[in-house]
Structure 1
Amino acid sequence: MNRLDLTDVVLKRLHITLLIVAVWAVMLPMGLVAWRYPLGGNGLLSILAGYAFILWYWPAGWLAILPSVLLAVDLTPWTGWLLCDEADMVLAITVAIGYSRLAWTPPIHRLTPVAAPLLLLFSAAFLVSLTRGLWPLPVPDFNALTDYTNSYNGLRIAKGTLWALLLLPLLRRTLAENHAQRYLLSGLLIALIGVSAVVFWERLTFTGLLDFSSDYRATGPFSAMHTGGAALDGSLALLTPFAILWLLQARQLNYAILAVIIVGLSVYAIMAIFSRGLYLGFGLSVAIISVSALPGRRDSRKPLWQSLLLLSLLCLTAGLLFQVFATGGYRTLAAILALLISALFVGSLSRALLPGGSYLAIGFVACLASQWLLWQWLAKGAYWAFGLAAMIWIAGILIFGSKHRPVGVILGMVGFAGMVVGTGLVAWHWGGKPALISTLPAMGLALGLVILNFRLRVWRWERSTVLGAGLAVMILGISIPVTGNYYMEQRFSQAEHDWETRLQHWRAVLFMMNADWATDLWGMGIGKFPATYFWRNPADEFPGNFQYETENNNTFLRISGARYPRGYGEPLRIGQRVAPRLYALYTLSLDARAPEKPAIVNIALCQKWLLYPFGCSGRSLKIENRDWQYFEITLNTLGFAGDVWGSRRTAQLILSNSTGGALLDVDNIQLNDPISGAELLANGNFSHGGDRWFFTSDRHHLPWHAKNLWLNILFDQGWIGVVLFGLLTLLGLGRAFLEFEHRDNSLALALLASLSGFLTVGLFNSLLDVPRLTLMYYLLLFTTLLEPFPLV
């Protein structure tokens, strides 16, 4: 080694050493943050230490763990911290341990020659916009952790992008390890399970799983939706395509069953939040995956007309099923879906396998006679008759795979015929003549499918047929009851009005921007939207705010009442999660004052997850004194709902100021159980600022979001940010498309569907103002920019 080479090695090692030192310089203060964390202490430190231990011995483990932490674990409603949370602590450990373990390992993956300079320019422009957003940076105080109108809000929003850039070197190295891509896929699937499970629990606990008539829209595990937005929508759009692709490619039965459960949960979550933008994004993702799986796409032996015919039949089926559900309800819909599945099996039988007519005739007569007896003798004989036929069909399927295949064929065909009759009985039993008439076309479609495939052989009874049909039935079976209910019909009927409202808001966003070249180029600055809206919105409304003020070494909460031109509107609410007993009385006491003019404080004890209160017990107190005054009231949980399958609704104590433009100060809040004397509130004297307190804007969301991803980038980062983000996104989508087209890379297809669905949701929502979601989007986008392209 000559002197020049030795110098290069020394400089490289010095550079890496300084980088590791810098990372740990950020990491060590994070330990102090963990100790100060409202839910911290030894327990949190132990969890973080355990995660660090795992990463040290399994450097690629962050690919499997981090997605769940980002998207399925959110403790902000319990802590009240907005600027820094548990995810930041996990990310700091990931970066610190990852850089220490992998900095000396040369990366196998590298950015493409086009992506590298683009990303460098994007990063530089982003830092310029961040500087504009942070300036002027005030001295840190309690409000830095909680206030969206504070300059520190820029750091809160920017951290998603900054963490993604810090993780990029780790992504380039860890994706090259054995099975690393599978770790990433596993992490995304676990995150999807977590997100969907929270939505499932939320619906089960607060509304019921099948009650789609109310305007309750689930928020899942995302505290970022406390001011509305579409964090849940964006996460489901990002994650669900990976589950669908895993289902379609499942080779083993246990994996297929697990994939069916995951997809079912996610489809239910998608449908149950009533988001039209998400429906569009999910539909696009499914279309991308479906087109890729068309029979004639790669196999010239299967003509394209078969693919088009299948798509046409699917559209026809969806239309007929909507008609069935409208008059026949859930039971008839379920019967028709089962009948269509059975038609796929019967229609795929070869003519050579068809048995003699005498055997079929005997089977038909026996089945129909049994169904007639069940129909006549039992109160719910229609269901028993259908169930009998379905069991015969299932028995045929099972026997078909054995050496007694002819018997399986007979039972399958007899069961199918019985299911046709049983479906008609179910429709008649549930909805009478109108339901039967509406169901007849769908029953005819099932028979038509059998005849069609006997003649044209469009499909065969194989794994891809079963999984594809199962996926279609699952999506239709969940989506039709949701989209066919009254509330969703009302949502779609209001689409034109909502579109006009959205256009008006977008014009207002552009109006509020400075009219100068610097703003055109670099934007107003990262995180400036809420503060700008507060002071410049053309509607001249003030949506309310709050601050933690200190006076004579005493910290208290100051709530500014919302002010609207029409004189009334949605107040800003400050709440804390509590755990009261059911059907009990509680004593609430507080000190309050009105420093400028009389104000009314509303106090309520409610069952509430994030946005929608239930069973509230509350009082309104008029505060007229400018000096501190003591108040005491009684609240109860008599209106609280009981447990549902062992699951109890979460509860909150909620404060709001309903006097427009008035200031209200509150302090020393206590919520006591008069029997046990237990105190339910933490930090009721606000000595730790906003710890454990969390604000929500339950129904007025426009002041907090630009409501369009591209417009949000324009506002924050200007045209330079829009162009660079657009180029990076187009490059990533293009590489994913070409990778799948040329190499049949399933990960590329999933990434293409995922990013496309996310961007579609972003047409109607900001999305990138949610740091966790921003980080996840960029990690997936960066994956598409690597070469060689990762494989699963």
Structure 2
Amino acid sequence: MSAVGAAPAMGGLLGFGPLKLHLPATRLQWLALAAGLGLGALGAELAWHHPLSGPLALAAWGVAVLLAALFWVKTPVLLLAPLPLIGLAPWTGWITFEEMDLLVTACGCGGYLAYALQLNARDRAPAWRHALVYSPAVRVLIVALALSAAWSMKRGFSDAGAFTFGWFQGYHEPMNSVRNAKAIFLVLALLPLWTAAAAARPRGFSRGLLLGLVLALAGASVAALWERLAYTGLLDFSTDYRTTALFWEMHVGGAALDGFLVLTLPFALLALLRTRSPWRFAAGLAIVLLAAYACLTTFSRGVYLALPLALVPMVLLADAQRRRAAAGPDSSHVDSSLGAVDQPLPRLAKVGALAMAAAFALAAALVFGGGGYRGLLALFFVMVVLLTLPASLWRPTLGQRLTALVMGGVLALLLGGASWALSMAVPKAAYALHAVALACCAVLRWRDEPGQTRPVYLLLVTTAWFWLLATMVIVADYWGGTAGRWTGMAAGLALAGLWALMLLEPRLWPLQGAGSVGKAGWRKRALLTAGLLLVMAVVAALGGGGYLRDRVATWKEDGQTRLTHWREGLHLLHGGRQWLLGKGAGRFVATNFYDGPVDAMVGDYRLRHDEHESYLALAAGKHQLGRGEQFRVSQRIAAPAPGLVTVHLVSRTAADAYLVLQICEKNLIYPDNCSSVEPQLKPHPAAEGEATDRQPEWQTSDFQLGPVPALGGSWWAPRFVTFSMALDTRGARVDIARISMQDSQGRQLLVNGDFNREMARWFFSSDRHHLPWHIKNAALHVLFEQGLVGLALLTAAWLLAVLRLAFGRGRDHPLAPAIVAALIGFATVGAFDSLLDAPRVGLVFFTLLLLGLGLRALPGEGVARLA
């Protein structure tokens, strides 16, 4: 689709107050009108069938359509920003369809109608201003990708027996093919609109894409922060609890949050590196730190590996962009509205920065091992003071600087000895002395006179900083005893030696040119301080959390398990046709269930119907069952009143089976504070002379569960409350016709307990037994579903996008470094997990992949500041 057209050569003008709508005048505008109406009809139908409330969903969808029409150039913001927060499957029971689909149809409906009716009409942009252009070969590749996905969906329907529509089908049924394959089609539905937006307002579109991804990262990170605060505590790195945030796709394991973080974090970091606004910088820094915490608490070795592999190339590509912008013949045209292009650091300054980072990482590990969190915090303040030291300290001569180092070290030793003696005599004096030394450093920093040569001032600053370093050792000694003393002294000597080298050799100082004032100074110091916090978080997680250490230590055993699982998964492909074209979208779980090992025969459910009513057929797996390995059907409920909860059950079974009924505080797969009852259900006794092969009779039972304590968590960190049903008998099946539950105050807690609304409000999970649900490798996932043809096409698209954004026509697009990093990070995490079986993650991936195949820098713009 070309840029939004000029005034129509034909058609009327419709006036609606300040808005002017023109009838479509070109073939593309008529096509856009048809697309908008088609997506509108689809979205309205989905919204009306929303399990929570059709009218409310339809109203919210209408508001999104209006926003998309008014701001159609920036629909990526509307689509991407709320993405990590709108997965309501644990409340709705929807998995094939979800709120993401409503948002895509709303953006498409509003955007295409705005384009077709020329709402907020733009002037036609010349071809050289089109920022999203696809060559004929790339268009063929995109069409081939779509055809491969469509064919795999068709094969999935066939493998499932035939296509049958259903609102609440599970992973074994035909609609799972739609769920697994839809991400690329949702992106393709919006791609012509985005092409038009990138032509009409290229910078506005790019800003919208960047803002949408940064806000999406912020949403996912805040959700992760809430989860840790509510369920584990912020600094608990020992509990076997991996963050899932609000990604319901992880109800059977997987790495949806991991993939989402590595796809979005590069954009926040790139925006942080380029913004010149203090407020935007502060907001961006907060988002990056939150995201780093979320990454850390995934306890995912894939994420830990992906971040350096992705972010290092991003920084190098961004630096290369900056060099080309500063040195190129069109550097005068570089957008400087948000500040001049920074000059890269000299080589020795980079060496100094690396040495400082390594020294702090080593010191942090030593101090935390002996002095705990308090010693680590004292070390952090030491480093913050070091990073804020003024440039005027290097104005004295080399001899004067050397004299200040020696005399300052001697004076600091005297002050440190006196401070240590005082800390031994007065309880908690160590902390007070550290605060006094910190205050002295702050006062001296405030008394700096830039541009003045003051050897005495240098001596005072050096003495105060060395004293602060000594009080850090004292804090570690006071808290950790002998171990804290010696580890603190080792860390202090390393940092003191590093500072001495940098003071004597100014070219090693990484902040040279960043004086006491100025934008470059505060930005670099803030970034370095953030880096200190990240290092502290990693050290605390590794040193204070046994769970992360265990995961790092068991990488070899887990890798062997992965290899075995991959071999077993590939053995499920039979014949050359399946290897070439795949088994079909969404068919791994069902194929693994029937043809895989016994451990792959996990539980399942089906909604059945007889002559009078609907009922739930709940089946247990045939593998070794445990509390975490049970297949659960659950419903989010309001927190019951403390006391006994009464459960009324109408069920039947053909053999003895233990039914587990639980009320727990639970976000997704980690139950806590559970109250449960585990009755044994028996078949209805047959009357004398009655045939034993007939369907078992329904039986009515009542159970009491509890007493249930007060649930729901604190108001500032609420916990979800979940009721779940599971079978604790291998291979058993129980049919449930009705279930209701009342708390001690007589309130009904369950909705749709008779299943007359199908599986609305019911959700399922497998808390610990995850391998049967995923092939655990993104490439093998594509191979299984789309065959070698689909894998080759996707690999070619990925390589082409990375190469053209790193070295080709798109390399100078402002977002190119971040897109390259996102695609590399996705591939790295995808080496250990499927990822593409989570539609929201797939949507972001295909958005970046398809945009990466067409984005290009506009002539004369250089490095545009989009942050």
For residues 569 and 636 of structure 1, the distance between their equivalents in structure 2, rounded to whole angstroms, comes to 20
Q: 1:397 to 1:294 in 2, by over 3 A?
A: farther
* Pairing partner for 1:221 from 208, 229, 246: 246
Q: Does 1:429 align with 2:478?
A: yes
1:211 paired with 2:224, answer no
1:555-566 equivalences under 5 Å are 555-564=614-623
Residue 20 of structure 2 is matched in structure 1 by none
Alignment of 1:525-564 (within 5 A): 525-539=584-598, 541-564=600-623
**Residue 511 (structure 2) pairs with residue 460 (structure 1):** yes
Distance in 1 between residues matched to 2:590 and 2:556, nearest whole Å:
29
Change (3 A) 1:137 1:393: farther
Determine whether 1:28 maps to 2:41. Answer: yes
Residue 738 of structure 1: aligned partner: 807
Amino acid at match of 1:514: H
Task: Name the SS for the 1:634 alignment partner.
Answer: strand
Of the three residues 352, 371, 374, the one matched with 1:331 is: 374
How big is the shift at 1:772? 0.9
Cα separation, 2, equivalents of 1:388 and 1:62: 53
| Greater CA drift, 120-129 or 464-473 | 464-473
Does the CA-based 8 Å contact 1:427-1:435 persist in structure 2?
yes
Change (3 A) 1:19 1:584: same
Q: How far off is 1:733 after superposition?
A: 0.9
SS at match of 2:81: helix
Matches within 5 A, 1:609-620: 609-620=667-678
Alignment partner of 1:773: what SS? helix
Partner of 1:384: 432
1:544 Cα offset (Å): 0.9
- Match of 2:614, SS state, is strand
What is the CA–CA distance in structure 2 between the aligned matches of 1:131 and 1:399, rounded to whole Å? 74
* 1:214-235 deviation digits (Å, cap 9, x = unpaired): 1111111100000100000001
Is contact 2:617-2:736 (8 Å) kept? yes
Secondary structure of the residue aligned to 1:556 is: strand
TM alignment of 1:310-349, pairs within 5 A? 310-311=353-354, 313-346=356-389, 349=392
SS at match of 1:179: helix
1: distance between equivalents of 2:318 and 2:465?
Answer: 28
Q: Structure 1 residues 674 and 431 mapped into 2: Cα distance closer, same or farther (>3 Å)?
A: closer
Change (3 A) 1:272 1:412: farther
Q: Which moved more, 1:226-235 or 1:53-62?
A: 53-62
Which deviations, in whole Å up to 9, do the C-alpha atoms of 1:510-558 show, x marking residues without a partner?
0001222x21221111111111111111346410100011111311111
Question: What amino acid does structure 1 have at the position aligned with 2:438?
Answer: A
2:317, 2:453 → 1: CA distance? 33
Match of 1:43 in 2: 56
Cα distance in 2 for partners of 1:294, 1:435 equals: 41
Q: Aligned to 1:610, what secondary structure does the other structure show?
A: coil
2:74/2:204 contact within 8 Å kept: no
Match of 1:89 among 102, 113, 116: 102
Question: Residue 665 of structure 1 aligns with which residue?
Answer: 735
- Match for residue 375 of structure 1 among 413, 420, 423: 423
1:75 paired residue number: 88
Please report how far the alpha carbon of residue 118 of structure 1 lies from its aligned counterpart in structure 2 after TM superposition. Answer: 1.6
**Letter matched to residue 460 of structure 1:** L
Taking a change above 3 Å as real, the CA distance of residues 20 and 283 of structure 1, as seen in their structure-2 partners, is same
Against the structure 1 CA distance between its residues 401 and 683, is the aligned structure 2 distance closer, same or farther, given a 3 Å change threshold?
farther
Secondary structure in structure 1 of the residue aligned to 2:713? coil
Offset, 1:293: 7.1
Provide, for residues 371-420 of structure 1, a one-character-per-residue CA deviation record: whole Å limited to 9, x for no partner.
56973675222122212222332344444477999698676444412321
Give, in angstroms, the shift of residue 345 of structure 1: 4.0
Structure 2: runs of 5+ lacking an equivalent? 1-8, 11-22, 328-342, 515-520, 684-695, 859-863
* CA separation of 1:296 and 1:381: change in aligned 2, threshold 3 A: farther
TM-score by length of 1: 0.91
The one-letter code matched in structure 1 to 2:436 is: L
Aligned to 1:159: 182
User: Structure 1's 241 and 411: CA in aligned 2 closer, same or farther, altered over 3 A?
Assistant: farther
Q: Which amino acid aligns with 1:750?
A: A
Deviations 1:571-621 (A, max 9, x none): 210000011245332211111110x32222110111111001111111112
Aligned pairs for 1:267-666 (under 5 A) are 267-291=292-316, 298=323, 304=347, 306-308=349-351, 310-311=353-354, 313-346=356-389, 349-352=392-395, 371=419, 375=423, 378-400=426-448, 412-456=461-505, 457-458=507-508, 459-460=510-511, 462=514, 463=521, 465-484=524-543, 485-516=545-576, 518-539=577-598, 541-564=600-623, 570-581=629-640, 583-594=642-653, 596-625=654-683, 626-636=696-706, 638-639=708-709, 643-644=713-714, 646-666=716-736
How much does 1:116 deviate? 2.1
Pair 1:83–1:567, CA change in 2 (3 A)? closer
Change (3 A) 1:361 1:319: closer
Q: Map residues 769-784 of structure 1 onto 2, 5 A cutoff.
A: 769-784=837-852
Contact 1:599 1:657 in 2 (8 A): yes
The 3-state SS of whatever aligns with 2:815 is helix
Cα 1:122–1:361 change in 2 (3 A) is closer
* Cα distance change of structure 1 residues 749 and 18 upon mapping to structure 2, 3 Å threshold: closer
Structure-2 separation of matches of 1:42 and 1:401: 66
Matched AA of 2:726: S
Q: Distance in 1 between matches of 2:307 and 2:492?
A: 28
Q: Quickly say closer, same or farther: Cα 1:410–1:669, change in 2 above 3 A.
A: farther
Q: Could you report, residue by residue, the CA deviation over 1:608-647 in whole angstroms, capped at 9, with x for unpaired residues? A: 1100111111111211122111111122364556734632
Q: 1:755 to 1:207 in 2, by over 3 A?
A: same
Q: For residue 171 of structure 1, what is the amino acid of its counterpart?
A: W
Closer/same/farther in 2, CA of residues 312 and 370 from structure 1, 3 Å limit: closer
Q: 1:122 to 1:741 in 2, by over 3 A?
A: closer
| Whole-angstrom distance in 2 between the partners of 1:296 and 1:130 | 41
> How many Å separate the matches in 1 of 2:221 and 2:449?
35
Distance 1:540 1:324 in 2: 45
Kindly state the Cα deviation for residue 290 of structure 1 after the two structures are TM-superposed: 4.5
Offset, 1:319: 3.6
1:175 is paired with a residue of what secondary structure?
A: helix
User: Over aligned residues, Cα RMSD in angstroms?
Assistant: 3.2
Please say if 1:111 is aligned against 2:124. no
* Cα 1:371/1:51, change in 2 over 3 Å: farther
Segment of structure 1 superposing worse, 342-351 or 686-695: 342-351
Deviates more, 1:172-181 or 1:216-225: 172-181
Give the Cα–Cα distance (whole angstroms) in 2 for the partners of residues 85 and 285 of structure 1: 30
- Cα separation, partners in 2 of 1:635 and 1:669, compared to 1, 3 Å: same
Q: 1:770 to 1:408 in 2, by over 3 A?
A: farther
Aligned AA for 1:173? A
Quickly say closer, same or farther: Cα 1:780–1:141, change in 2 above 3 A.
closer
CA change 1:624–1:139 in 2 (3 A) is farther
**Count of residues in Structure 1 that have an aligned counterpart in Structure 2:** 780
Encode CA deviations 1:224-282: one digit per residue, 9 max, x unaligned: 00010000000111111222222223323222222221111111111112111111111
Distance 1:392 1:290 in 2: 37
Following superposition, the deviation at residue 754 of structure 1 comes to 1.7
Indicate conservation of the 8 Å contact 1:424/1:439, yes or no: yes
Identical amino acids, percent of aligned pairs: 30
How big is the shift at 1:71?
2.3
Residue equivalent to 1:175: 198
Say if 1:778 and 1:637 are closer, same or farther in 2 by CA, change over 3 A: farther
User: What residue ranges of structure 1 are gaps of 5+ in the alignment?
Assistant: none
**Contact (CA 8 Å) 1:204, 1:644: kept in 2 or not?**
no
